Homo-oligomer: A and B are copies of this chain.
Amino acid sequence: MITQTDKAYLEQARLEALDGLAEGGYPVGAVLVDGNQAIATGRNRSNQTGDMTAHAEIDCLRNAGAAVEREGLTLYTTMSPCEMCSGAVIRFGITRVVIGDAVSFAGDPDHLRRHGVEVEVVNDPDCMALMEG
C-alpha cells in the first residue's frame, strides 16, 4: 500500500531525476529512507561521469555509505531497477522498494519479491513522464 509519505519520497526521487536531466543525464532518481528519514539520495550519473554503473539506485546506495546495512530500509526509485540495481537491493537486504515507473522499463519486480523484498509499483504519471523526453 502506498502512503502519503511514500508519495512524498517518490516526489523527492523525481526531483533528483529532474536535477539529473538538467545536468545532461538520464532522468532517474532515487531516495533511501530509514523509518521516516531520508538518509541518502542519488541519480543516474552515467552520462555525466562515464561510469556506466552509476545508476540512480547504485549512486544512492553509494551515498548512504555504511548505512545501507541498516535493517528496514525503503528505496524509492523513479524507474524499475535493472538487474544490477535489483541485485544490490537483494545484497544489502533492502526491505522495501517503491517504483515510480515500471512501464518505460519493466525490470523484474517479481525477482525482488522472490528474494523477500516488498515491492510497490506505483506507475505514477509524473514519473512516467520523465522518460518521455
Report which A residues bind B (CB closer than 8 A): 50-54, 58, 61-62, 64-66, 68-69, 82-88, 90-92, 115
Contact = CB atoms under 8 A, between A and B. Distances in A.
Task: Decide if the interface of chain A is mainly helix, strand, loop or mixed.
Answer: helix
| Residue from A52, A58, A86, A90 with most neighbouring chain B CB atoms (10 Å) | A52
A92 B87 CA distance: 13
Contacts of A85: 87
Q: This chain: how many copies in the complex?
A: 2
Nearest to A58: B53
A92 B83 CA distance: 9
Contact of A51 (B62, B90, B91): B62
A87, A91, A115: most-surrounded residue (chain B CB, <10 A) = A87
A92 B85 CA distance: 12
A88 B84 contact: yes
